[in-house]
């Protein structure tokens, strides 16, 4: 009898691009991919954050370099991707939100959220994948979506709209790119505790609302997402495309 062999979770000799990589989920994704052996390019607008993060990854034995980039500037995105070797992995993470009730959303709110969460995400993916396809790389695209891409929520009409859009983009890209062997999936975190979100949870009503819906009874941490990102990036997920991996503690289970 020949036993089946477990696919490797290693990502050695693969190049990964992570957007919004200076902090929070993006930083965790970069650290996880580097620990699994990938060479990681950390992209964000703030040079100090990604420079420090890349240095920390290298100090820990990984391979990393910073890329100062505003992903809403499509010309800059094209120039940066064209100047770099093709990537095997894209973690399309850069995003934003301005929590506001539907009746109070301004045109500027709409443009900022949709411009980054949808437009920039679309064209970053297209630019990276064009080069990936030209090099015949059977790569992996991971869109950082949200549990709010599967449900609705108060004060998040535009955010929910954009994340539902990312889920549709994930499926459509997966269909288009499957003949090229390029996989496209999304990861949908619940509320993750970071230095940016921590002040929101000082509001007891909001904290109670969130924890009441997360069935496992706690906020997410960036570490909760790291294994999921490495899994979707590599050979262990070789037959998974067009799927949503929801890391939400059970929020969307009912």
Active-site hit among 159, 191, 231, 251 = 159
- How far, CA to CA in Å, does 227 sit from each of 3, 57, 136, 230? 25, 17, 26, 5
Of 233, 146, 144, 141, whose CA–CA distance to 184 is shortest? 141
Closest CA to 47 of 31, 65, 34, 66: 66
Sign of CA dihedral 59, 64, 67, 71: negative
**Residue 138 Cα distances to 36, 196, 233, angstroms:** 18, 35, 11
The answer to whether the beta carbons of residues 128 and 87 sit under 8 Å apart is yes
- Which run of H or E residues covers position 246? strand 244-247
Active site residue 159: yes
**Distance between CA atoms of 182 and 36, rounded to whole angstroms?**
20
Sign of CA dihedral 135, 62, 227, 127: negative
Just list the catalytic residues.
159
């Amino acid at each position: 009898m020949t036993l089946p062999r477990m696919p490797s979770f290693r990502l050695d000799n693969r190049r990964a691009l992570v957007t919004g990589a200076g902090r929070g989920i993006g930083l965790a994704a970069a650290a996880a991919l580097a620990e699994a052996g990938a060479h990681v390019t950390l992209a964000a607008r703030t040079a100090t954050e990604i420079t420090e993060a890349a240095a920390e990854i290298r100090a820990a034995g990984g391979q990393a370099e910073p890329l100062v980039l505003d992903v809403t500037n499509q010309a800059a995105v094209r120039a940066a991707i064209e100047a770099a070797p093709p990537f095997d992995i894209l973690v399309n993470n850069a995003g934003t939100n301005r929590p506001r009730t539907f009746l109070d959303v301004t045109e500027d709110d709409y443009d900022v959220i949709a411009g980054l969460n949808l437009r920039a995400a679309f064209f970053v993916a297209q630019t990276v994948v064009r080069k990936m396809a030209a090099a015949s790389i059977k790569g992996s695209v991971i869109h950082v979506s949200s549990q709010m891409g599967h449900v609705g929520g108060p004060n998040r009409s535009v955010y929910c709209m954009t994340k539902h859009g990312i889920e549709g983009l994930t499926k459509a890209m997966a269909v288009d790119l499957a003949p090229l062997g390029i996989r496209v999936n999304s990861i949908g975190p619940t509320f993750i505790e970071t230095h940016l979100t921590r002040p929101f949870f000082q509001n007891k009503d909001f904290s109670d609302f969130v924890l009441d819906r997360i069935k496992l009874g706690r906020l997410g941490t960036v570490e909760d997402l790291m294994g999921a990102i490495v899994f979707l990036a590599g050979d262990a997920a070789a037959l998974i495309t067009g799927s949503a991996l929801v890391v939400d503690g059970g929020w969307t289970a009912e």
